[in-house]
Amino acid sequence: MNLPEVRTEDGSAAIRFARCWADFTKALSIYPATNMRVRTTLERMQSLHAEALSERGDAAGTGVAVLFRDEKLELNGEAQEDLGGGNLPWLRDRLDRAALAGVDFLPDLDTEAVIEFTKQLLRAYLAAEAHPSYEELWPEPFAGLALVDRRFDGGFGAAARGTGTTHGRGGGGGTARKKKVRKRAAASGGRRGGGELEGEDLVDVLMGDGDVMIRLTRIRALTDQRTDSDERVSATELLYRIVENMPAEALKDRRTFLEAAHEVLEALEVDAENGRSDDRGALSDDRTLKALLHSVSHSHFARSGPDKTSWARETEGENEGGPRKARKGDDEITDDVEGLLEELAALPEAANLVLTRDEVERPAEELTVCLHYLTNMGEAEQPAHLGDTLRRLLDTPGEPEMEALRACILADVARSTAEERPVGLTPIQSFLRSTNNTTLLRSCRLFSPEWVVEAFPRYFVPYLESVNPVVPAEMAQLDEVCRAIGPDRMIEAARETQLEAKLLNHTVVTRLLKEPTPARLALARLCLSWFGQPVSPKIAVYLRALDPEAPEAFLLYQFSNLADLTVDYLLAIIDLELGRADPRRLRDAVSGALCRHIRRLGTADPSSPERVESIRSLGRFPSPTANQMLRELMRGAWRPFSNREPGVVRRAARAVSRTTGKAA
Amino acid sequence: MCDQHLSEEERAARPKGAVRFVDELVVAMTNSRIYSGGHPRLESSLGALVESFDRLQGEHEDGGFELGCADGFLFYDRRPLLGASLSSRRLIDPLVALESGGIAFDPRTQRDHLRTLVAYLSTGCKDAETYTQANESLDRQGCPTVRFLPPYTGLTGDGGPYEVGAQKEPSPRDVPTESIIDLDEDIDLPINLYQDVVYVLQDAMMKTCRGETIDVNEALGNIEAILRQLEVDTKSMMSLARYEAYDEFTFGHSIRVCFIALNFARHLTDDRALLERIGLAALLHDIGKAWVPFEVLHSTGLLSDEEREEMSLHTVYGGQILLDTPDSDPLAVAVAFSHHQTPSGGGYPRSVRAGPQSAATAIVKLCDVYEALTAVRPYKPRMSPTRAYRIMMSMQDHFDPVLFRRFIEVNGIYPVGSRVKLDSGELARVESQTGSLTQPVVTTTHAASGESLFREDAAKLDLQTSNAGVVEMLQEAEM
C-alpha cells in the first residue's frame, strides 16, 4: 500500500480545512469523541472553517463545500489538482461507501452535529456491504451540514443552495433534525437508560455498536428482497421498536442491553431468512421488515410472559450445563426416538470421524486463554505458572499461534484506546519484551505500515525497535510510516510514549536518523523529547545533513562541540523546519544555546575565537538571557577564581551591547 | 443394583436415611478440612448432619444404630450403601486402617459428640492403630457415645462376597444370615477406581479452597486406570457413569463427564497420551467451582443476575487454578476456561477468539451438557438420552455438528451399561452399540417374570439380528 504524503500546512484555508476534516474523521475512527486528540482536531477544524469563510468573503449563507468528484477534490466548486493528500483519500473512500460526494459546511456549523455525522459516516462504512441507499443511510439532516448525495450531477454552487435540480438531500435546518429526533424519541417514550446507561439515547447506543449495524444491514438486505420499494420502511425503525419494547431489567447496564438487543436481532435475522412463527407458533411466510417490526412488538418480548424476556428465561438453566437457545421451549421437546433419528440424519456424516492431534489440541486456543489472564489480571494476581506456560507456547509458534497473538494484541490496543488508557507497555508487550520477542511481534505482522499508523502511538516504540537501519526497504517503510502519521500526531505523542520509550536503547533509534530524510524530522523531535541531551549530538548531525535554510540554524555549524547545542535549540530548529515556528521560543532557544556555549568555553578556553564568535552572535538574537550574559561578560563576575574576563571577551561583549542598545 | 423388580415395600425399605447420613458425614468431614472451627459453613454442615442423625435415630426403637464397613463398602441395616460408598472413601479409609467394622452410635449421642467424631475422622484417626485405641481416643476427647466397631467376621479369604454360614465361631458381629450384597452379578463395578477418583477430586477441591496448589499427577494415574477399564469392560465403567445419586460437591458430575468424554474420545483417536490429557481436562473442567460461593453453586432456584455472573466465573477460576499448578497442561487450562464458549464466539467468558475451538474443548462441552441434562438433580427428574440429544440439537451453534453426530453414535440412544426393557418383557443391560442406534447388543438380566437370571442363563442378543426390540430404557435406582 502506498501511504499518502503529508504536506506541511500550506495552501488556502479551504484546503487546510478539508485536510483537517479528514484528520478529524480519522481520529474519531480510532479514538472516542472525548479523546483530547479528537477534540483538539475539531477545534482546529472550527477555526479553519471560520478562516475559510472569511477568506471567501462571499455572500452570507454560503459555506465551505468539500466534495470529491472524478478522482479530484473540489473546494467550493473549484476543482483542485489532486485529492489533496494526507487523510483526504481515506476520507473520500468513506464518503463514497456512504453514498456521499461530500459535505457543505454551513456558516452555523455545529460541532456536536459534526461528531454525530462522522459517527454515522463510520458506521455506514461498516454496513456498506449491503450497499444501502442514500435515503437509508441519511434519513435525518445534521445541523450546519448539507450532505451531498453521490448521485448529484449538476453544478454544485447553485444546487447546493436549493436552486439546482437533482441535488441530494441535504440538511441545513439545524433545528429540523432535532425536532424529528425529539418526536421519535417521544414516540419511543424518550427511552433513555439507567445505571451505566444513564441519560444515553438507547437507539444511539445501538447505532454505535458495529455488530448491531451489520446485523441490521443483513436484515435489511433479506427483507428488501421481499418488499416493493415504495413499501420499504427504515431499518432503523427496527432499533426504535426494540428499544421501545426492551424490558427495564435489560437497561441497567450497557452489556446487558446490547446482549438483549443482539439476541432479538439474531432471532429477527433468522425470522427474516426462514419465516416467522407468530404468537401461536404458526409459521408465516411474511418476511418483510414490517412483519418483523410487528413481531418485535408482539412476539420477541412476549414469549415468556409479561415480565420476562426470552433472554432472561433462556439463561435459567445455565447452572445445569450451559445456556440453551431453543426455537421452541425445552418443554416441547419430547422423547421421540423417530424424531431424533430424523434430526440426526440432517447432520453431516460422522461415522469415519478421526481426529488428528492438531485438531484435538490447538495451541492457538491455549495461547488466547493464557493471554486473557495476562491482560485481565494484575501482575500480583496472575497465576503462578502463567509465564512459564506462555513461554512454552511461544517457544516455537506456528501460524495459528501468531494469528492468535495478533488478535489478542489488536484487541488489547483497541481496548486501551477505548478506555483512554495512557500509552505504555501493555501486559502483552511487557511480557514479550521480557522474552526478547520483538521478532514475534514482527511475525504477527504487527509492524505493517498500515497497522503501525492505525494504532499510533501504541506499538510505535516496539516498531521503531524492530526497524533494521541497514535494510533500505525497512528504512523506506519507516519514512512512509512517519509521513502517514504526520508530524502533528507524532509530536503530540511524545508525552504519551515517554514511559514506553524508557525501555528503548536510544542508540538504536538514533541510528534510524543516520540518513537525512525530511520524513523523519518529527521522529527526530520525538527522540529528543524522549532522551534529551544524550542524543543531541546525533540529532544535530542529522539536522546538519538536512541543511536547514533558516538563519537560526547557523549554530549547527558554528559549534565545534555539538554537545553544546541544547535540546531546546534543536527542538526549535526542527519545529521551524516543520512549519511550527514560534519566533520567541526560537530566539530564546538560540540565545540559550549561545550562553551555554559561552559559559562552557569560559572554563576551558575563555579567549578562544569560537567563544568570541558566540558572543558576537548574541547580538543577532537579543533576549533577556543574552543581555544578562553580556552584562556578566563585561563585569567578568561569573568566571571562577577571577573577577575579569580576558580583554577580547569584554570588548566583544561591549560591542554587542552597544549594538543592541542594552548596555548594563 | 436395579430395584425395578422389587415390590413397593421392599423399595421403601431401602436405607435412604442412612445414605443421607453418610453423605452429610462426608460433607462435614470435608468442610472440617477446609474451614476452621466455628465457620458458618462447617456449622451448617454439622447442623445438617445432626438433622439426618436424628431422623435415622428415629427409625430405631432404642435410638441407637450402626454404620457397618467391610470390603470397601458401608453398610446399614445389613444392606450395602453402594452409592454412598462410592463417594465415602474418606470415611472408609480410616475405618479400614483401624481394622474397624464400622461405627456404632449410642442413643445418647449429641451434636458435640458428632462434632468430635467428624474432626477425628477427618484427621484420619492418626493417633490410633486399632479400633480399640481409636475408642480410647474418643473417650479422651469426651465422646463416649460413639464407638468404632470390631471387624466383620466370616470374610472369604480373597475378600470376596460374604458367604452364608461362615466357618468361624459366631461372634457378636457375625455375618447376617442373608447375603448382604444384593447386587446383580452381571457386572463387576470398578468401585475402588471410582472411589479413588472421587478421593482425588475431593482432595483437589479442598486444596483449592485452602489456596494450595493441586497435584495433577495423581489424577493422571486415575485417568490411565479409567482408560484401561474402558478398554477391558466398558459396560461396568459406563454403568457408574449413570449412577444417580446427587453429591454435594459436584464430584459426580465431573467424574461422569470424564467417563463419557474418555469413552467418546477413544473412538476418535488412538493416541493414548492425548486421551489421558483429554480425560484429565474433562475431570478437572469444573475445578473452578471450588471458588464459587457455596450458596450460588448449590442454589436450587433461579439465579439472580449477580449470582449468574458469579457462576459464570467458574470457567475463569478453573483456568486460573490449573495455571497455578506446576507443569500445568495448557490443554486442561483451555478446556476449563472455554468449555462454556460456543464455536461461533458466543457463550462465556468473553474473550478474544482466534481460530476454531479445539476438539478437546468441544468434546468436554458436549459431554458436560449431556451429563447435566441426563443427571439426577434434587430439583429435576432425570432426562432420557433421546430427549437430551434433541434438546442439544435445538441449541443450534453450540456444538460442532459432525462431532455431535459422532457423539450420539458412540454414546447411543441406549448407552452402554444402561438397563432396558425388551418387548419380550425381559430386562437387559446394554453391552455395546451397533450400526443401528435403536438396536444395540444387550445381555438379559431378568426374565419377563422379574426373576433375576444367573450368568449362565443370561442371553447376549444383537438386536439388529434378533427378533427382540427395546421398549423402554429403565431408570437406575439408588443403591
- B277 neighbourhood in chain A, CB within 8 Å: 361
Can you give the pLDDT at residue A48?
93
Residue B31 pLDDT > 50: yes
pLDDT higher than threshold 60 for residue B184: no
Say how far apart CA B81 and CA B245 lie, in whole Å. 11
Residues A239, A300: Cα–Cα separation, whole Å: 13
What is the distance between the alpha carbons of residues A571 and A548, in angstroms, rounded to a whole number? 13
Q: What is the ipTM of this complex?
A: 0.80
Q: Which residue has the higher pLDDT, B389 or A512?
A: B389
pLDDT digits (tens, 9 = 90+) for A43-89: 999 999 999 988 877 555 578 999 988 778 888 888 887 776 778 88
- Distance in angstroms (rounded) separating the CA atoms of residues B289 and B463: 42
**Cβ atoms of B360 and B277 closer than 8 Å:** yes
Question: Residue B386 and residue A336: Cβ atoms within 8 Å?
Answer: yes
Residue A6: predicted pLDDT: 37
Dihedral over Cα of B433, B437, B441, B446: its sign: positive
Nearest CB to A354; choose among B269, B356, B357: B269
What CA–CA distance (Å, rounded) separates B291 from B461? 48
- At residue B463 the predicted structure's pLDDT band, cuts being 50, 70 and 90, is very high
Highest mean pLDDT among A142-156, A166-180, B437-451: B437-451
Instruction: For residue B333, give the chain A residue with the closest CA.
Output: A366
User: How close is the nearest chain A Cα to the Cα of B208, in Å?
Assistant: 13
* Mean pLDDT, range B254-268, rounded to an integer: 93
Q: Which tens digits make up the pLDDT trace of B399-429?
A: 999 999 999 999 999 999 888 999 999 999 9
**Residue A451: how many CB atoms within 10 A of its CB?**
20
Helix runs in B313-400, H state only: 314-323, 330-338, 359-374, 385-393
Residue B398, CA atoms < 13 Å, CB-side half-sphere: 24
The Cα A102–Cα A279 span in angstroms is: 46
Whole-angstrom distance, CA of residue A433 vs CA of residue A441: 10
Residue-level pLDDT at A450: 83
What is residue A400's DSSP assignment? H
- B367-382 pLDDT, tens digit per residue, is 999 998 888 766 667 7
- pLDDT band at residue A448 under the 50/70/90 scheme: confident
**CB of A25 closer than 8 Å to CB of A37:** no
pLDDT (0 to 100) of residue B389: 95
A369 and B337 in contact by Cβ < 8 A? yes
Q: Give the residue, B434 or B156, on which the prediction is more confident.
A: B434
**pLDDT value at B334 more than 90:** yes
Is a pLDDT exceeding 50 seen at residue A197?
Answer: yes
Q: Could you tell me the residue ranges of all domains in chain B? A: 8-149, 191-411, 419-474
Task: State whether residue B380 is helix, strand or coil.
Answer: strand
B65-70 sheet: strands from edge to edge: B79-80, B73-76, B65-70, B102-105, B146-149
Question: Directed axis angle between helix B272-283 and helix B359-374, to 10°?
Answer: 50
- pLDDT for B2 equals 35
Q: For the stretch A17-43, what's the b/e string if a residue is b when 16 or more beta carbons lie within 10 angstroms of its beta carbon? A: bbbbbbbbbbbbbbbeeebebbbebbe
Q: Among B322, B324, B89, which Cα is nearest to B197's?
A: B89
Listed range (A2-6, A46-50, A277-281, B25-29) with the worst mean pLDDT:
A2-6
Question: How far is Cα B346 from Cα B349, in angstroms, rounded to an integer?
Answer: 9
DSSP A452-470: HHHHTTTTHHHHHHH--TT
Rounded percentage of chain B residues whose pLDDT exceeds 70? 84
All three cell numbers of B108: 445418647
Q: Is B130 helix (H, G, I), strand (E, B) or coil?
A: coil
Of A325, A340, A400, the CB nearest to B395: A325
Residues 6+ apart with CB under 8 A from B368: A321, A322, B257, B285, B286, B339
The three three-digit cell numbers of residue A56, written as one number: 471567501
> Considering chain B, what is the average pLDDT of its residues?
82
Whose CA is closest to B478, among B244, B246, B320?
B244
Q: Do A360 and B358 touch (CB under 8 A)?
A: yes
Q: Which residue of B has its CA nearest to A411?
A: B352
Residues B361, B340: contact at Cβ < 8 Å?
no
Question: Which of A340, A356, A371 is nearest residue B390 as measured by Cβ atoms?
Answer: A340
- Residue B156, pLDDT > 60, answer no
pLDDT of B183 higher than 70: no
Whether the CB-CB separation of B320 and B207 falls below 8 Å is answered with no
Cα–Cα distance, A387 to A427 (Å, whole number): 11
Name the CA dihedral angle for A18, A20, A21, A26, rounded to a multiple of 10 degrees. Answer: 130
Which residue in B354, B368, B403 is closest to A368 by CB distance? B354
pLDDT, tens digit, 9 for 90 and up, residues A359-373: 999 999 999 999 999
What is the reported pLDDT for B179?
31
Is residue A509's pLDDT more than 60?
A: yes
Residue A360 near residue B278, CB atoms below 8 Å = yes
CA distance, residue A303 to nearest chain B CA (Å): 17
When CB atoms are compared, the residue of A256, A393, A404 closest to B330 is A393
End-to-end Cα, chain A, rounded Å: 62
If pLDDT is split at 50, 70 and 90, which confidence band does B269 have? very high
Q: Sign of torsion, CA A7 A11 A13 A17? A: negative
Task: Judge whether residue B160 has pLDDT over 50.
Answer: no
Is residue B155 very low, low, confident or very high in pLDDT (cuts 50, 70, 90)?
A: very low
Burial A525-553 (b: 16+ CB within 10 A, else e): bbbbbbbeeebbbbbbbbbeebebeeebb
Highest mean pLDDT out of A610-614, B17-21, B189-193, B246-250? A610-614
Record the cell numbers describing residue B228, joined without a space: 484401561
Kindly indicate whether the domain formed by B191-411 is annotated with CATH number 1.10.3210.10.
yes
For A311, name the nearest residue in chain B, comparing CA atoms only: B305
Question: Mean pLDDT throughout A209-216?
Answer: 68
Task: Look over chain A and give the mean of its residue pLDDT values, rounded to a whole number.
Answer: 76
Residue B73 has pLDDT above 90, yes or no: no
> What digits encode the pLDDT tens for the residues B198-241?
888 888 888 888 888 888 888 888 899 889 888 888 887 887 76
Q: What's A133-182 look like in SS3?
A: CHHHHCCCCECCEEEEECCCCCCHHHHHCCCCCCCCCCCCCHHHHHHHHH
In this prediction, residue A478 carries a pLDDT of 92
Over residues A552-594, the pLDDT tens digits come to 899 999 898 898 899 999 999 999 999 888 888 888 999 999 9
Span B316-343, average pLDDT: 92
Query: Could you read off the pLDDT of A97-138 as tens digits, one per residue?
Result: 888 889 999 988 888 899 999 988 887 876 554 556 777 788
Q: Which residue of B has its CA nearest to A360?
A: B359
Report cis status (omega within 30 of 0) of the bond before A427. Answer: no
The per-residue b/e assignment along A212-231, b for 16 or more CB within 10 angstroms, e otherwise, is bbbbbbbbbebbbeebeeee
Instruction: Give the model confidence (pLDDT) of A273-289 as tens digits.
Output: 665 444 434 444 555 66
Q: In angstroms, how far is CA A146 from the centroid of its own chain?
A: 25
Q: Which band of pLDDT confidence, cut at 50, 70 and 90, is reported for residue B16?
A: confident
In this predicted structure, what is the pLDDT of residue A296?
Answer: 64
Q: How far B431 CA sits from the closest chain A CA (Å)?
A: 20
> Is B394 in contact with A330 (Cβ distance < 8 A)?
yes
- The residue among A340, A358, A406, A413 with the most chain B CBs within 10 A of its CB, best to mutate, is A340
Taking the CA of residue A431 and the nearest CA in chain B, the distance in Å comes to 16
Q: Mind spelling out the 3-state secondary structure of A324-382?
A: CCCCCCHHHCCCCHHHHHHHHHCCCCCCCCCCCHHHHCCHHHHHHHHHHHHHHCCCCCC
Asked if pLDDT for residue A211 goes beyond 50, the answer is yes
Is A361 within 8 Å of B333 when comparing Cβ atoms?
A: no
> How far apart, in whole angstroms, are the C-alpha atoms of residue A289 and residue A260?
20
The answer to whether A524 and A514 have CB atoms below 8 angstroms apart is no
Question: Cα(A662)–Cα(A622) distance, rounded to whole angstroms?
Answer: 9
How far apart, in Å, are the Cα atoms of A466 and each of A405, A512, A548, A631? 17, 11, 29, 50
pLDDT band at residue B103 under the 50/70/90 scheme:
very high
Q: What does the alpha-carbon distance between residue B377 and residue B181 come to, in Å, rounded to a whole number?
A: 27
Residues A68, A83 contacting (CB under 8 angstroms): yes
Closest residue on chain A to B275 (Cα): A360
Residue A383 and residue B323: Cβ atoms within 8 Å?
yes
**Closest in A256, A318, A339 to B390, CB measured:** A339
Q: Which of B268, B347, B356 sits opposite A353 (nearest CB)?
A: B268
Residue in B closest to A318 by C-alpha? B308
Question: What's the pLDDT score for residue B365?
Answer: 96
Rounded to 10°, the helix B330-338/A386-393 angle is 110
Between chains, do B391 and A330 touch, taking CB under 8 Å as contact? yes
pLDDT at B244: 53
Residues B315 and B347 sit within 8 Å (Cβ to Cβ): no
Contacts of A549 (CB under 8 A, 6+ apart): none
Mean pLDDT of A475-499: 88
Sign of CA dihedral A152, A157, A162, A164: negative
**CA-closest candidate to residue A217, choices A198, A238, A196:** A238
More confident residue, A273 or A341: A341
